[in-house]
Structure 1
Amino acid sequence: MPKVTSKPTTIEHVDLDVLEDTLSFYIRTMNIAVSRDLDARLDGCEVARGTGKITTLLLVDSHPGIRPSVIAQIIMKDRSAMGRLIEQMIEHDLLRRQTSASERRAQELYVTPKGAELAAMIRPIVTKQSKDFFSFIAEEEQAQVMDILRRAYRKMVGMTGERD
């Protein structure tokens, strides 16, 4: 256990202990900061607040008929959480669900006209937010971090092969 030398009164006086050299600490805190910033930019949109709505909307818009289980794997949500997310998006008239013609037990997802309009609106916002938020990091360094995180992510979710 580390020895506490003083009671910090400002952030500058805090020693982060083992967190200083822990990648997961920085990833978790960056996730919170990025999410807050994006939520502020999407204030009032049905996909603001919470995780998975933007990705789900964009994936369904890009891949009509995609199955909820595929999206769940991509966004790392369990079946019940994915079900709640989809129900919420259906209630907001962003998605519709349909039974697969080829496999009766399988469900397919499609965007509604409202969902397609929202997807088109948020794509540039999401892209600009990422560029703006990380503008203090040189583009070459951003590309390096993106490459590392992309490879880690693809391995975690089981995506094999090169990026399409």
Structure 2
Amino acid sequence: MTSGVPAVFLDRDGVLIEDTGYPHLEEHLRLIPGAPEAVRRLTALGYLCVVVTNQSGVARGLFTEERMKAFNAQLVRRLASKGAVVSAVYACPFHADAIDERYRHPDHPDRKPNPGMILRAIDEHHIDPARSFLIGDRPSDLEAARRAGIPGFRFEGGNLDDFVKDLLGH
């Protein structure tokens, strides 16, 4: 029996795209320098690329869950148009201070720093956590990785492909 495939879990805002403050419209979709190249590099090395993103803008009433899903689909298409394949997107619209009570939860298991999105992806995509890691830009991303039992690495800006090359020792 195989142990599953390796994966890289990528935060969305601040890692794949510029964090413009609750991005949700096409004009907000500005790729981080090196993002398509990094995803292409990781895929070529056999990693599944999985986006895990907190999206409290839904809970805060800034945009709908449908708008969030459409924006995530736009991101996947934009990356794909550059030869960069994202295998799955997990997004958590829940927040303790939600305006919309459907999204109010004091500590949702999917909301980073909780590991729910990562653990679900591991299960649903037959991912081997021992060969996987996360790239995020916030302490909550790294804590979610730790709680999921995988290494987490903090991207502090610049070129994502350069960061990935350094991380992988290439």
Bigger proportion of residues as helix: 1
TM-score normalized by structure 1? 0.27
Instruction: Specify the structure having the higher radius of gyration (Cα).
Output: 1
TM-score normalized by structure 2? 0.27
Specify which structure has the bigger relative contact order, considering alpha-carbon pairs within 8 angstroms and separated by 6 or more residues.
2
